[in-house]
Amino acid sequence: MILAPRYLPRLAATIGLFTRYGLADFAKQQGLQTLAPGPDSERDDGTGDNGAGGSSDRAAAFRRRLVELGPAYVKLGQVLSSRADLLPPAYIRELERLQDDVGPIPLEEVEQIIEEELGGRLSKLFASFEPEPIGSASLGQVHGAELRDGRQVVVKVQRPNIRQQLADDIAFFRELATFLTEHTDAGARVDMIGIIQQLERALADELDYRVEARNAAMFRRSLAEFPRILLPRVIEAYTTERVLTTERVRGVKIDSISPLTRLEHDFHPVASELTQAYLKQITIDGHFHADPHPGNVFVVLPTANNPMTPSEVKAIDRRAVPRPPMTLLSRMENEAQRDAAAQPEDVDVKLALIDFGMTARLPTTLREQIVRLLLDIADNRGDDAADVLIEVGEELPGFDRSVFVREIASLMARNYDLAVGELDAGKLLYELINIAFQRRLRLPAELTLLAKALFNLDAVTRAIDPLFTPIPVIRDFGNQIVAERARRELNPRRLFQLASESSDLVMSLPHRLDIISERLASNDFSTRVEVPQFLLVIEALQKVANRIFSGVVLGGLLVASAMLMPYRRSLATGGFLLAGVIGMWMVVSILLSDRRTK
């Protein structure tokens, strides 16, 4: 129960979070102020009055408060950053930049966790281990190290005692989502419980580093055909549930690329290849990296000493027979090297992707619908895009199809005339989702995660190449997918299957047409329509008609008895008694009939 004593501190903190910092209107829409109304709910903690709800200062204060409340709220903020249908744009931008700002884990605790998980002393496991962390977050901490064989690695260690705190926070979020779903209009329009389930899945994956290790290996295999995309290899022997070890990437953050570097290197091919890689994850694999924000992407220059891509490993591997894999991750690495594209001679710079804790999967049907939606966006087919969104979503009471289609078409027409480098596919998808929310069309949570991924991808590619636009890449890649599916459907095996399945129909069709024509000629052709529950409807209508008729008879008897009362008192009294008997019989029969129906 949301008002249970153990939830009250969290409830007060959450209400304060969404009623201050310029989000009072949001709190009213979500029904939060009805839980704890009062003067405190309008206070702003010094960030100004509530009239400037979309200001950057208030949004920044909101982000800082999330960090103060703990890791579960940080992760909730990251999930909400994909919901442009819920929060104003200024808050979405701040949540996109949400980073944990917590103190480091003491080195003694880090050593203890590593030694417990890996079963050896730190000095025996590593040739060297950097005591200062590279980064520290609410869920874990990263240190640089060197293995005994000389490989440079990074070691991510999970914070101690983090699981119980997160479990309590998630239980509270679940209760709050249930309350909002049952008692608020916004809860009926937005899948609140789905948002919390998405948060639970994200936290469960991030608390088990073996899941992130499998994700990294799968993406390295899936993207092996892109030689400019580098994903560091997982060191499987040094990875457990609470410790993750990967090859170390030494690159430049994309927002730190110097003007001289831009002049020396061509960044357009790598921006195009990154977009193609994500389109492949989304439309073909159905499993994509949902958090490609600038902090998870590095530019790898040719002069830096970095891990090799599968293409580079394949180019220098001279073994006639590959080493047989002993584990799942090693098998995926072998497959990545086998399927890797040939190393081009013109590879200049590469992009390295890290941190695969947050991923998303798309069902096959939704994947095909997204392909159609992306092609409609690329070709400016607003009506078709609206139809796809209606097909994907759930129409709520009050949904107006014609208004929705008109607004979607108008939005896409406005964006189509933007200059090269101005159009953001992710931002446009966010706006489509926002229109759907306002027009009472509930869309699946996977679509908002897709919008978040494309929005971050736009930011990354724009930082790499300011003139890059993803629309031509989306159009070309989508056409390739459609052509590939057509070839797959028209291969000889598929044609033989269709022929065998339709052979019975083809052979029996002339005889069936002959029977139909004979019956038409003899005027013996008839059709039968069966409506489910039709007899029950007729029976119910008969009951209604009987009750109406009995009511009319009873009313007539009462009126006639009243008119006879001055002249024939005894006859009128008999009429009233008869009307009373009939009325009682009607009441009893109706009660008994309704009880039998229940």
Is 460 inside any structural domain? yes
Is 171 inside any structural domain? yes
Q: Judge contact between 291 and 358, C-beta under 8 A.
A: yes
Q: Which residue has the higher pLDDT, 161 or 311?
A: 311
| 434 and 561 within one domain | no
| 513 and 552 within one domain | no
Residue 326: which region, alpha, beta or left (left: phi > 0; alpha: psi -120 to 50)? Answer: alpha
| 179 and 51 within one domain | yes
Q: How far is CA 398 from the centre of its chain?
A: 24
Question: Percent of the chain scored above 90 by pLDDT?
Answer: 23
Query: How many domains, in total, are found in the chain?
Result: 4
| 472 and 429 within one domain | yes
pLDDT at 40: 42
Is 471 inside any structural domain? yes
| 27 and 172 within one domain | yes
pLDDT at 190: 67
For every residue of 308-320, DSSP letters joined together read PPHHHHHHH---S
| 450 and 387 within one domain | yes
| 463 and 373 within one domain | yes
What would the mean pLDDT of 351-360 be, rounded to a whole number?
Answer: 87
Is 251 inside any structural domain? no
Q: Judge contact between 236 and 220, C-beta under 8 A.
A: no
Question: Percent of the chain scored above 70 by pLDDT?
Answer: 84
pLDDT at 495: 67
| 74 and 25 within one domain | yes
| 443 and 458 within one domain | yes
Domain end, chosen from 176, 199, 222, is at: 199
Cα distance between residue 541 and residue 246, in whole Å: 73
What range defines the domain where residue 558 resides?
534-597
Is 281 inside any structural domain? no
| 85 and 184 within one domain | yes
pLDDT one-digit tens code per residue, 130-149:
999 998 877 889 999 999 99
What would the mean pLDDT of 404-433 be, rounded to a whole number?
Answer: 78
Domain end, chosen from 508, 527, 546, is at: 527
Q: Which tokens belong to 176?
A: 């709050």
pLDDT one-digit tens code per residue, 554-571:
888 888 888 888 888 888
Is residue 147 classed as helix, strand or coil in its secondary structure?
strand
Query: Which pLDDT band holds residue 189 (cuts at 50, 70, 90)?
Result: low
Q: CA triplet 453, 456, 460: central angle to 5 degrees?
A: 130
pLDDT one-digit tens code per residue, 358-393:
888 888 889 889 988 988 888 888 899 999 999 999
According to DSSP, residue 134 is labeled S
Q: Judge contact between 329 and 221, C-beta under 8 A.
A: no
Residue 473 burial (10 A CB sphere; 0-12, 13-18, 19+):
buried
pLDDT at 223: 94
Q: Letter for the amino acid at 68?
A: E
pLDDT at 41: 41
Residue 514 burial (10 A CB sphere; 0-12, 13-18, 19+):
exposed
What would the mean pLDDT of 333-353 be, rounded to a whole number?
Answer: 88
Cα distance between residue 18 and residue 27, in whole Å: 6
Q: CA triplet 447, 448, 454: central angle to 5 degrees?
A: 90
| 539 and 518 within one domain | no
| 53 and 180 within one domain | yes
Is 332 inside any structural domain? no
pLDDT one-digit tens code per residue, 257-276:
888 888 888 898 999 999 99
Is 55 inside any structural domain? yes
Domain end, chosen from 527, 546, 579, is at: 527
pTM, two decimals, is: 0.72
Is 216 inside any structural domain? no
Lowest mean per-residue pLDDT among 38-52, 378-392, 400-414, 472-486? 38-52
